[in-house]
Amino acid sequence: MSKKRVLTGVTTTGIPHLGNYVGAIRPAIRAAQSSDVESFLFLADYHGIIKCHDPAMIHESTQAVAATWLSCGLDPERTTFYRQSDIPEIMELNWILTCITAKGLMNRAHAYKAAVQDNLNNGQEDSDHGIEMGLYSYPILMTADILMFKANEVPVGRDQIQHVEMARDIAGRFNHRFKEVFTLPEVKIDENVELLVGLDGRKMSKSYGNTIPLWENDKKTQKSVNKIITNLKEPGEPKQPDESPLFEIYKAFATPSETADFTRMLAEGLAWGEAKKLLAAKINAELAEPRERYAALTANPSQIEDILQAGAAKARQEARELLNQVRDAVGIRALK
């Protein structure tokens, strides 16, 4: 039986935090270790420039995201790991797909509709005010990413489901109009994905400024953990797990039996200060080795670049083959 192709992309617009690690990085690396899967993971930097117009941030984030995945255990021998902009074939496919995508389909994309709605809410006369073509055509680029490597399964967050469905639609349209070239992808939503809460109890997110950074030293991690909100219960007073986001974060780093012990200790009056020490120790223990690897990689970015180039070389071989089939199907081929 041939292996299932699993592909996903990570937009390079931020520095990874503990929520990204628990919800996306750790599970994806575990999944990629399964022997019946062939995995593709890439840095979606051309997607990054749609929303982020800060060149320094795009560049810094590209390095940080690449180093994060490698430090956390992504094995570039097993996973085809590359940067989107190193595969020019994706942009060529993007154009060919643009030529067959119904404008009406793009009008229905959530991200575009949300931007239009914002304009209407703000009393703008032009509902397209300030909206750029990158945002509008974003699902086509994502379709090119997915179809280029014949992905069977695309694991994404719920906000991305529609884009994968659009990729399916566009692939079907091409296959029907020209030739059966594309594999129809399926979206994969992990129902059990852990949603990590932040310092204030809301979802941990860079947009809320409530994150615990991944790549800080033990002391700074303790400092971040000390900011997690708690109530005013004194040491010795019984405490419940739902009285502070601290418990949920602890759970993400502990075994079930350690979590049960922690619950009992809280009920027996563990001081919040002590609980925070236990939590920081857990996080620091799990991240100790990845942090060493991260420091070594970021001290030598050319090592990261070499890994990305090797991934791109592997990916481009396939990309060229598929693109040739696509070009041929639409009538673009040598005159001989």
Q: Binding to ligand ADP by residue 79, rule CB under 6 A?
A: no
Nearest to 212 by CA among 273, 159, 276: 276
Member of 5, 17, 47, 83 binding ligand TRP (CB under 6 A): 47
**Is the Cβ of residue 205 or residue 222 nearer to ligand ADP in the bound state?**
205
Nearest to 205 by CA among 52, 17, 57: 17
Q: Where are the alpha helices (DSSP H) in the chain?
A: 18-20, 26-32, 45-51, 55-71, 88-98, 103-107, 110-121, 133-148, 161-177, 218-226, 246-253, 256-267, 272-298, 301-330
**Is the Cβ of residue 245 or residue 311 nearer to ligand TRP in the bound state?**
311
CB of 155 to ligand TRP, least distance (A): 8
Member of 152, 183, 205, 259 binding ligand ADP (CB under 6 A): 205
Q: Binding to ligand TRP by residue 212, rule CB under 6 A?
A: no
The Cα–Cα gap between 86 and 183 comes to 23
The Cα–Cα gap between 10 and 33 comes to 19
Q: Binding to ligand ADP by residue 144, rule CB under 6 A?
A: no
Q: Binding to ligand ADP by residue 44, rule CB under 6 A?
A: no
Is 206 one of the annotated binding-site residues? yes
Q: How many CB atoms lie within 10 A of CB 303?
A: 14
Q: Binding to ligand ADP by residue 22, rule CB under 6 A?
A: yes
The Cα–Cα gap between 295 and 330 comes to 48
Question: Which one of the spans 74-82, 204-212, 227-235, 307-315 is the region binding ligand ADP (CB under 6 A)?
Answer: 204-212
What string marks each residue from 143 to 182 as x (binds ligand TRP by CB under 6 A) or -?
--xx-------x-x---x----------------------
**Is the Cβ of residue 7 or residue 70 nearer to ligand TRP in the bound state?**
7
CB of 72 to ligand TRP, least distance (A): 18
Tell me the site size for ligand ADP, rule CB under 6 A. 15
170: CB partners within 8 A, 6+ apart: 97, 100, 101, 105, 140, 143, 147
Structure tokens given for 123: 């009393």
Member of 5, 9, 14, 115 binding ligand TRP (CB under 6 A): 9
Tell me the site size for ligand TRP, rule CB under 6 A. 12
The Cα–Cα gap between 319 and 96 comes to 14
Nearest to 185 by CA among 139, 230, 226, 235: 139
Is 11 one of the annotated binding-site residues? yes
The residues of the shown chain that bind ligand ADP, judged by CB under 6 A, are 14, 19-20, 22-24, 157, 194-196, 203-207
Binding residue ranges for ATP: 11-13, 19-20, 157-159, 196, 203-207
The residues of the shown chain that bind ligand TRP, judged by CB under 6 A, are 7-9, 11, 44, 47, 142, 145-146, 154, 156, 160
